[in-house]
Structure 1
């Protein structure tokens, strides 16, 4: 359970990057040369597909976890998120590009977060699953809190658009780090009902 919680915290760090960077890219005035000058409404609409893709990936995550185990699903999700951020480093000059980037990241998030409860519940007694999942949620909250602090520092200390690319790169790197941690999570034996 320790490795799952570490992977969760590191992965949560990476997931928040899109929520901190994409709205700024979309809303900065185009006259700055770094933004797309979109309204708050357009910004919200650009992020909607990401949430829809996350929901659509939930049953896919369950199928992959059933076939290959939740560890494999978590690792796949982290790689998809890393790929999304990697494309985001170079694709941030048009609204449609940010829709694609956020959707790919959303797909990875849906896969990974769908696997985490399975990993947790497979390692603790049935009477402890609620407490164990609560601890995992706390670890995710810690990861996102650290991410927002780091992103805030980067955004205030590094010039735009380099700061956006740096945060996207950090998102990719931390997603891959979460994958590396997840690789050491022991395989779960199948429980019989």
Structure 2
């Protein structure tokens, strides 16, 4: 059993983390019931729930990415699997905890800013995926693309992730939720440093 756990791909650990986040959000919705499902609860459920559904749907409509992406197929050790579940699974549900436990109604500015950031992040992710897949298919290069949007930044997905989780933080009504954005940034930078080290070898 332990040997199998040591061979888990990063994408499988991330998928398990998304399922863990989903379970935690469902538990929070049950644990913190309100006389009526408030606007904050509704909007947060719609945004975070949509993101998780798209995470899995994207792998179904673009299976080549999960099969061939070098980073996602990296094998993780037990400690890395645990850390992935803790951060991408438990910590990423933190804005949901604050959203469902927050009894204050969603303010207009929170809705505008939160939904705006979520939509911007989703747009950046989807457009970057489409451009990257098309460019890599044309060049048969599975490592880097430096054309179009990638001339501005090598990692447009990061901007999308940061904007989306910042949107979740605003919708939760608690600024402490921004710790998730910091965690995502750290995870991105650690992954970047690891890939750069692999290229240098």
TM-score interval for Structure 1 and Structure 2 normalised by the shorter chain? 0.3 to 0.5
Q: Could you tell me the TM-score, scaled by structure 2's length?
A: 0.34
Which one has more relative contact order, counting CA pairs under 8 Å at least 6 apart? 1
Which has a greater percent of helix? 1
Q: Could you tell me the TM-score, scaled by structure 1's length?
A: 0.35
